[in-house]
Structures are given as C-alpha cells and as structure tokens.
Amino acid sequence: MSEQKKEYTEAELAEMSRDEKVRLGLALDDVELVEYRDNWPVKGTRAERRAERAVAAWFALAGLSALAFIAVFVFWPWHYQAPSDPKAHFIYSLYNPLIGFFLGLSILAVGIGVVLYQKKFIPHEVAVQQRHDGHGSDEVDRQTTAALLADAGNRSGIARRSMIKRTAGFGLGAFGVGAGVFALGGIVRNPWATDGPDSLKHTQWMSENGEKTFLRRDTGNPSDVSLLRPEDIDPGGFETVYPFRESMRHNEEELAESMRRSDAPVMLIRLRPGSAPIKRKGQEDFNYGDYYAYSKICTHVGCPTSLFEQQTGRLLCPCHQSQFDVVHTYAKPVFGPATRALPQLPITVDENGYFVAKHDFIEPVGPAFWEREA
C-alpha cells in the first residue's frame, strides 16, 4: 500500500538527493522494484566497448546518410532528361530513388541507434505497480519523475561515453538539418519570380512567341505527332490531349517533355448535341461548339481526373472520388474533397481544321497553392 502522500515544500525537495527523489517517486506511485540492475556492473570491459562502438556506428551512419541526402537533394541533376540521351536520363532517373534511400537510411539508423542504446545501456528493471486512481502532476511528481529519468541516464553511463555522445550529436544533428532541408527546400524558389512556362502561373500551353499550339493525342510515342480535328471525337466522347508546336517537331526531348509535364494533360470533351452547360464568367468563348477542354489535373491534390462518365456527364478523380460536372456546369466540383472547378483551356479550330489553344490557362492548374487569385 502506498505511503500517505504528504505535501513537500520546494525547500524540502531542493534538499533531497536524486536517489532520495527516485525512492520517493517509486513509493508515491506504489512501485516496487523487483530488479534494477546495471547492464555493465564491471566498467570498461571489451564487450561494453564493443556495444558502445555498435551504437556509435549507427549514429554515424545516420549522420552520413543525412549528409548524403542533403547533397543529393541540393546538387543532383533533377531536371527531366529524355531517353534519347540514355546516360543523362539514367542519372536524372536516380534522383527520387536516391533521396528516398538516403533519407530512409538516416531515419532507420537513428531508430536502430536509439533502440540499441536503450537495450545495451539503460538499466534493466522489473517493477510491480499497484493500480490506483490517477491524479494531476504536482511539483513532487515532476521532480521525482525527472530524478527517475536522470537516474536511468546516469546508470546508462552516458556521461562517460563520449564516442556515443559525439556520434549521436552528429547523427541527430545532420538528421535534423536534413529534415529542415526536406521541409523548406521545396519553397526556396519564388514561384512568382518568373513569368515563363516554368512558373506556377503558366503551363506548357503557353506560347512564348505567338506560335500556334495544337492539341495532340498520345500515341505512345512522343515523336509520332497526331493532331486532332473535331470529327475525330464522337458526341459524348473525349480524348486526353497535349500541347504541340511546330518548333518542337524535330526536338525529341521537347516532344517527350511536353507529354510528361504534370501541367500539360487536358481532357478534350465533346458534349452531346443540345448540351448547354453554364459557362463561367469571363470564359464564355473558351469552348468550340460542343467541344470543351479542361485540365486533367485534379484541383484537390493533383491526381489525373481520368474517368469520364457519359451518363451523368461527370469527370471522376479516382484518388479521392471528386466529381466535376461538365454537362451542366464549367467542370465545377459536385462531389468529393475538391473545391475548385477544373481550369478550362480556351480552344478553337485553325484554318486547316485542327484544334488549337487560343492561349494558356488563365489560372494555375492543379491543387491550390498560396496566393492563388482564382
């Protein structure tokens, strides 16, 4: 049975040694220590040093992996390289696997180092505690708990294990810096700094020199350019299309990139005759007859809205089931977590009968980002 809890003044607590606080904390919690032994009663044995080196090695590995992660994250060539240059493409394709590998290895090594330290150096204890109603923490609880933790740390010998302290500092420090780089690295570049096709304001559909931007279908081979005309799509049908400009025709890299960029895919939909969706203010002439073009990138978190349900006239996003109504509205979300209509691409047909984009989207495609005006 626990001893009657008495009130302790701050002066009394200050006078107590850590051992006394440990014993008091145990008594107050009705804890009986059946076993509480040091892992290394004889100090400085070879086995103890071996255990110390093992823990230090994991922390060192965590630090080195974190540094490698930072180096790859910052310096590795991550810009897309077309398969036409196999070496550059191979190096580019290693970017994601490498940052994942080194970050994962760093987390794993920190975890193993901490668990190993706990197993090898924190005293083993077997304790029995009576259940009783909990009560809020007061000063006695706080000080006795702190004494218990400090006692465990002291018995683990951390004070004299300088190798572990140094490697843990290096491993955890580098890991912390890596986590910071990971969190902040993506927002270093100011998306408003440039106004070209690489800025968040624009997409691959932007023609910088007024060159015509055609709508092309995906034939599976970026070099095989297949342009679209109105008669290519049946009423109620649709096609996923990508931007194409004549200046790209002999540049394999540009052709491939124009189909790989996440802001490029567009759904070209031909509504059934007689459909009269509500048009968005300022976008009344964005369609060409029954043909409407919407970004394929979901405005929730950016999955492709790749399913078109003819019966209901809804585009469905398979990721979280957002639905966008293209028959009655301008692709407004009518179900699911998306809150913004799919951006509409203004289209028309040129003098040769091919679909072309009149200009870029007038709002950012994909998930919302900060300071978005639309």
Contacting residues toward ligand FES, per CB under 6 A: 298, 300-303, 317, 319-320, 322, 336-338
Helix, strand, coil percentages for the chain (3-state, nearest 5) = 40, 15, 45
Taking the complex as a whole, the smallest distance from the CB of residue 335 to ligand FES amounts, in Å, to 9
Taking the complex as a whole, the smallest distance from the CB of residue 292 to ligand FES amounts, in Å, to 19
Using the minimum distance from each CB to ligand FES, give the nearer residue, 105 or 301: 301
Using alpha carbons, list the distances in angstroms from residue 18 to 14, 143, 151: 10, 9, 7
Q: Which of 255, 252, 242 is nearest to 304 (CA)?
A: 242
Cα(286)–Cα(348) distance, integer angstroms:
8
Taking the complex as a whole, the smallest distance from the CB of residue 296 to ligand FES amounts, in Å, to 11
Positive or negative, the Cα torsion across 135, 136, 140, 145? positive
Q: Which of 271, 285, 297 is nearest to 203 (CA)?
A: 297
Q: Which of 106, 28, 120 is nearest to 60 (CA)?
A: 106
Using the minimum distance from each CB to ligand FES, give the nearer residue, 216 or 300: 300
Using the minimum distance from each CB to ligand FES, give the nearer residue, 287 or 323: 323
Using the minimum distance from each CB to ligand FES, give the nearer residue, 143 or 322: 322
Q: Which residue has the tokens 């649709």?
A: 238
Sheet holding 266-270, edge to edge: 291-295, 266-270, 238-244, 213-217, 355-357, 347-349
Taking the complex as a whole, the smallest distance from the CB of residue 78 to ligand FES amounts, in Å, to 23
Taking the complex as a whole, the smallest distance from the CB of residue 276 to ligand FES amounts, in Å, to 27
Region for 304 from its dihedrals, namely left if φ exceeds 0, alpha if ψ lies in -120 to 50, beta otherwise = beta
What would the two tokens of residue 161 be? Answer: 């294990």
Using alpha carbons, list the distances in angstroms from residue 241 to 189, 218, 233, 321, 325: 29, 7, 12, 22, 19
Using the minimum distance from each CB to ligand FES, give the nearer residue, 72 or 298: 298
Cα(324)–Cα(344) distance, integer angstroms:
12
Taking the complex as a whole, the smallest distance from the CB of residue 275 to ligand FES amounts, in Å, to 24
Using the minimum distance from each CB to ligand FES, give the nearer residue, 303 or 334: 303
Taking the complex as a whole, the smallest distance from the CB of residue 318 to ligand FES amounts, in Å, to 8
H runs (alpha helix) in the chain: 10-15, 18-28, 46-75, 86-93, 95-121, 139-155, 162-185, 252-260
Using the minimum distance from each CB to ligand FES, give the nearer residue, 185 or 302: 302
Taking the complex as a whole, the smallest distance from the CB of residue 357 to ligand FES amounts, in Å, to 23
Using the minimum distance from each CB to ligand FES, give the nearer residue, 230 or 337: 337
Residue type, 314: R
Taking the complex as a whole, the smallest distance from the CB of residue 321 to ligand FES amounts, in Å, to 6
Using the minimum distance from each CB to ligand FES, give the nearer residue, 177 or 319: 319
Taking the complex as a whole, the smallest distance from the CB of residue 366 to ligand FES amounts, in Å, to 9
Using the minimum distance from each CB to ligand FES, give the nearer residue, 91 or 319: 319
Helix crossing, 162-185 with 46-75: angle to 10°? 20
Region for 251 from its dihedrals, namely left if φ exceeds 0, alpha if ψ lies in -120 to 50, beta otherwise = beta
